């Protein structure tokens, strides 16, 4: 046992010297996890905006410019697993990690603090999303985003609900990102199918920690407000002002770079995932379009 711990400490020191600082998942208040391994690289956790509310701008900036770096940081964590040789409960080597958003933090701390902004943006027809799941294994990476919508309740007020939005999968075998779940073309308000957020928070005595992390989120330059003129013209907003500093932004300053994925190529969608709905906003160039237009 002591020999195993000594080997782990040597590996940890090697990773620290190589710039792979580690983060303990047990200390991450904004997410939940499933893994026998409690440590991942700090660079990876910084690229996973769990607990944050993502506007269209922040979401598209993330998809266009942060997925490549996500691969690099995920590989660092895989390297850490290999070097330490940490095993699961059945004695096999750790080979996967699943992270999920913390429902209490998102629905009872983060979302309420932006309630007016979320409500306003959805009524204006803008989509508001959050990172719901991250999966890392020896064969693939998956990131899943859910979308916040509005539902009229019994007293004619709006309540937050959520639905599936986008899932992106990267397989190490083919080295390409593949969208595996398309946006459901339902209305943003009073949609036919949806999921309800938890009504009762389960803070487990961590209210102070939740409040402290909420203060960090609110200090990020990640406002969900979208300027009124944003959709009027592609050229109306410089690309290097579109996203928060926590998420990578284009390095060129060209306004056209933001509108197309320049850092990677998507694999072709499968025929069954194509949409023939003529209302899909193909011309915007930001959503991944599956129609034949």
Q: Give the domain ranges of the chain.
A: 50-68+96-284
Mean pLDDT in residue range 219-235: 56
Residue 113 has pLDDT above 70, yes or no: yes
Residue 276 has pLDDT above 50, yes or no: no
Residue 1 has pLDDT above 80, yes or no: no
Contact 38, 45 (CB under 8 A): no
What proportion of the chain, given as a percentage, has pLDDT over 90? 34
pLDDT of residue 208: 94
Residue 79 has pLDDT above 90, yes or no: no
Average pLDDT of every residue of the chain = 75
Return d(Cα 75, Cα 55) in angstroms, integer: 28
- Two structure tokens written together for 168: 């992106």
Contact 60, 145 (CB under 8 A): no
Contact 131, 59 (CB under 8 A): no
Return d(Cα 173, Cα 69) in angstroms, integer: 18
Mean pLDDT in residue range 186-191: 82
Range of weakest confidence among 2-6, 150-154, 178-182, 276-280: 276-280
Distances (CA, A) of 108 to 51, 104, 111, 204, 252: 11, 5, 7, 13, 38
């Amino acid at each position: 046992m002591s020999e195993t711990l000594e080997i782990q400490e040597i590996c940890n020191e090697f990773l620290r010297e190589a710039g792979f600082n580690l983060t303990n998942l047990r200390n991450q208040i904004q997410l939940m996890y499933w893994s026998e391994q409690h440590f991942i690289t700090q660079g990876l956790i910084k690229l996973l905006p769990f607990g944050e509310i993502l506007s269209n701008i922040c979401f598209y900036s993330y998809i266009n410019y942060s997925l490549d770096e996500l691969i690099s940081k995920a590989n660092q964590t895989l390297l850490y697993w290999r070097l330490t040789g940490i095993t699961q409960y059945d004695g096999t080597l750790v080979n996967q990690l699943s992270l999920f958003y913390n429902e209490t933090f998102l629905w009872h701390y983060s979302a309420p603090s932006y309630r007016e902004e979320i409500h306003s943006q959805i009524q204006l027809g803008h989509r508001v999303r959050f990172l719901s799941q991250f999966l890392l294994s020896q064969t693939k990476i998956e990131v899943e985003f859910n979308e916040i919508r509005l539902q009229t309740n019994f007293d004619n007020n709006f309540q937050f609900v959520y639905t599936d939005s986008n899932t992106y999968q990267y397989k190490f075998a083919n080295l390409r990102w593949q969208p595996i779940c398309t946006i459901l073309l339902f209305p943003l308000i009073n949609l036919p199918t949806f999921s309800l957020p938890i009504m009762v928070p389960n803070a487990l005595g961590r209210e102070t920690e939740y409040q402290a992390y909420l203060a960090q989120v609110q200090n990020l330059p990640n406002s969900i407000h979208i300027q009124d003129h944003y959709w009027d013209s592609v050229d109306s907003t410089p690309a290097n002002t579109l996203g928060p500093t926590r998420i990578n932004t284009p390095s060129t300053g060209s306004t056209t770079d933001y509108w197309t994925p320049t850092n990677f190529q998507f694999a072709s969608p499968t025929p069954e995932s194509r949409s023939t709905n003529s209302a899909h906003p193909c011309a915007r160039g930001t959503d991944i379009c599956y129609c034949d237009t």
